[in-house]
Structure 1
C-alpha cells in the first residue's frame, strides 16, 4: 500500500520529522520502518538543495517523503512536489479560501493551477495531470484560533486529504502562555476533538505532530490516524545527553 493509499484510507500512519540537512542520516532513518519522512522547510535548516538530497536518500530506501512547505504559496508547494514529495503539509491555513488555494497549488489545470515541470517528480509519479493529481497529498495545518474556528469549512474543501495539527502554535493561538502551558490542557483537548470531528464529518483524516512515540500512541488511541514523531535534532540531543549522563556515572 502506498503512502497516499494508506493515509487516505485512515490506516494508522506514522512519520518521522527532519529539521537538519543530513541526507546520510535521512537514509538511515528511512530504513527504520516509518511510513514517511517529512522535511520541515518552514522551521527546519533546509534549503531546496537539501530537499533534493533528502528526497534522493529516501528513494534509495523506498520511503515516501512529505514536505512542510514554507508558506501557503504556489511557488513553495509546486517546488516541493516537483522535487518528488508525495505530499505537502501547508502551514497557517486559516480559512476555506486558504485551503482552496492550497489545493489549487497541488493540482494541475483544469483542477488547479500547478505549473507543469515535475523534473525529479517524473521519476516517481505519473506525468499525466489527472494521474499526478491523484498521486499527491494536500494536507493543510490547523494551528491558529482562526483556523480552528473555520475547521469544518476547511475540512470540507474538495481536494483536502487531511488536516494536520500543529500543537505548539495551536495552544499558543488559543491563549496559552507557552507551547505546553498546562492551564490550557482542557481547551486544547476540546480543540483536538473539534478537529477530529470535522475530519470525520468530511471523510478525511486527522493528523498531529507529537514529541515522542509514547505521545503518538496516545493520539492514535484518541482517534487520530496519522502522527509525525519528534525530530532528528531532538533525538540527537536526547541521545547525546543520555550517553553523557551514563558515562559520568
Structure 2
C-alpha cells in the first residue's frame, strides 16, 4: 500500500488455527483474524498468530471493541496491526491509535510475557511497524470521516458495509448496492485519499480498487466453505438428475 498499490487479503472467522494457517500460506498480502463476530475465545488469537507466523502474510486482528486491553492483548499475541470497529468520532479514533502505540506516542502497555520478549525491536521502533485501522460503519461515522481520517496514528479506515447499510436504513445484503450507501462509501474513500491513508473493504479486488480502495479482503474461510459446499451440492444434484 505504501507504493500506492492495492493490498488483497483474506479473513478468518472460524477461530481455528489450522484454517488460519491454510489461509496465511495462500499467497495473499494479509489475513485478518476476526474477534468481533467469530466464535473464538480470548486465547484463540495467540494460537492463530503462532500458526500464521513466518508465512510472509501480514497478520491483523479485528478486535471486539475499541478497548485498549483488547488491542494490547492482540498486539502482545503477535498481531502486526489491529482493526478497531465502531469508530464514530475523532476522539474514538485517537483512543484506538493510542492503544496501538507505546508512549510517548500512545498508551500501550509494555508486556514482557511472551517467549520472544527482549529479542525484538524497542518500543519506538515498534510504533512505526504496527498498523491501526479503524472501522467506519455508521452514518455518524460517515459524517465525521474527515476528522477521523486526520487523526495521527490512524493508518487506514476499513468500511463495514453491512452495518453501514443498516445505519442508513437499508438492507444489510442489498443496501450496499444502493445510491445512499455508495455515496457514503465514496465520501469515506475521498477522506482517506485526502489524508493519505488507506481505505479498506470486503469485495472484489478489481471492482473495489477501481473505487479507490487500497485494501480489499477478497474472501473468508466461511465464504470459501459455503462456496465449496454449493459446488459439491450442485455436482451431487447433477448426478442425481443424470441417473433419473
Residue in structure 1 matched with residue 173 of structure 2 by the alignment: 180
Are residues 1:13 and 2:2 paired? Answer: no
In the aligned structure 2, how far is the partner of 1:114 from the partner of 1:228?
A: 27
Residue in structure 2 matched with residue 209 of structure 1 by the alignment: 202
Deviation at 1:21, TM superposition (A): 2.4
- Residue aligned with 1:169, SS: helix
Which has the larger displacement, 127-136 or 83-92?
127-136
Q: How many residues align?
A: 238
Deviation at 1:128, TM superposition (A): 1.2
In the aligned structure 1, how far is the partner of 2:66 from the partner of 2:4?
A: 25
In the aligned structure 2, how far is the partner of 1:125 from the partner of 1:198?
A: 38
- Residue aligned with 1:230, SS: strand
In the aligned structure 1, how far is the partner of 2:237 from the partner of 2:188?
A: 46
Residue in structure 2 matched with residue 236 of structure 1 by the alignment: 225
Change in CA separation of 1:14 and 1:119 when aligned onto 2, cut-off 3 Å: farther
- The 5-angstrom pairing of residues 1-249 of structure 1 reads 7-117=1-111, 119-120=113-114, 122=116, 126-176=120-170, 178-182=171-175, 185-210=178-203, 215-249=204-238
Deviation at 1:26, TM superposition (A): 1.8
* Structure 1 segments unaligned to the other structure (5+ residues): 1-6
TM-score between both structures, scaled by the size of structure 1:
0.90
TM-score between both structures, scaled by the size of structure 2:
0.91
- Residue aligned with 1:61, SS: coil
Deviation at 1:79, TM superposition (A): 0.5
Give CA-to-partner distance per residue, 1:62-81, whole Å, 9 cap, x none. Answer: 32210010100100000000
In the aligned structure 1, how far is the partner of 2:112 from the partner of 2:131?
A: 15
Change in CA separation of 1:219 and 1:184 when aligned onto 2, cut-off 3 Å: closer
Structure 1 segments of 4+ aligned residues over 6 angstroms from their partners: none
In the aligned structure 2, how far is the partner of 1:62 from the partner of 1:53?
A: 17
- Residue aligned with 1:89, SS: strand
Change in CA separation of 1:228 and 1:122 when aligned onto 2, cut-off 3 Å: farther
Change in CA separation of 1:227 and 1:120 when aligned onto 2, cut-off 3 Å: farther
The structure number with the bigger radius of gyration is 2
- Residue aligned with 1:141, SS: strand
- Residue aligned with 2:202, SS: strand
- Residue aligned with 1:158, SS: coil
Deviation at 1:180, TM superposition (A): 2.3
- Residue aligned with 2:178, SS: helix
* Structure 2 segments unaligned to the other structure (5+ residues): 239-244
Residue in structure 1 matched with residue 241 of structure 2 by the alignment: none
Retained in 2: the 8 A contact 1:118–1:127? no
CA RMSD of aligned residues (A): 1.9
Deviation at 1:129, TM superposition (A): 1.3
